[in-house]
Amino acid sequence: MCFLEFEYDGDRIPKVLKCGHTFCWGCIQKLAKTKYIRCPNDGKMFFLKKNDNLSHLKKNFKAMNNQ
Ligand SMILES: [Zn+2]
Ligand SMILES: [Zn+2]
């Protein structure tokens, strides 16, 4: 969504939302509101638990192999 290439470190790590779409960590942090994340691809909302720091989201290094 930010059109930057994925990397293994920092804000460019590819992360998978529960709907299966992959975004870089930096974008996900911008998408995350206080109580939910909204996927820009399909509009699905994922509610966050209290103190959820999103670290449970899976990394998607497969996405990097496609480039
Ligand atoms: Zn991004
Ligand atoms: Zn999605």
What is the Å distance from ligand 1's center to 26 Cα?
6
What is the Å distance from ligand 1's center to 46 Cα?
18
pLDDT at 15: 93
pLDDT at 66: 58
What is the Å distance from ligand 1's center to 50 Cα?
24
Which residues in 22-35 are b (16+ Cβ under 10 Å) and which e? bbbbbbbeebbeee
User: Could you tell me the residue ranges of all domains in the chain?
Assistant: 12-56
**Residue 24 in tokens:** 């870089």
Give pTM, 2 decimals.
0.79
pLDDT tens for the chain, 67 residues: list them. Answer: 787 789 988 899 999 999 999 999 999 999 998 889 999 999 999 998 877 778 788 899 887 765 5
From residue 14, alpha-carbon distances to 46, 49, 50, 55 in Å are: 18, 21, 23, 12
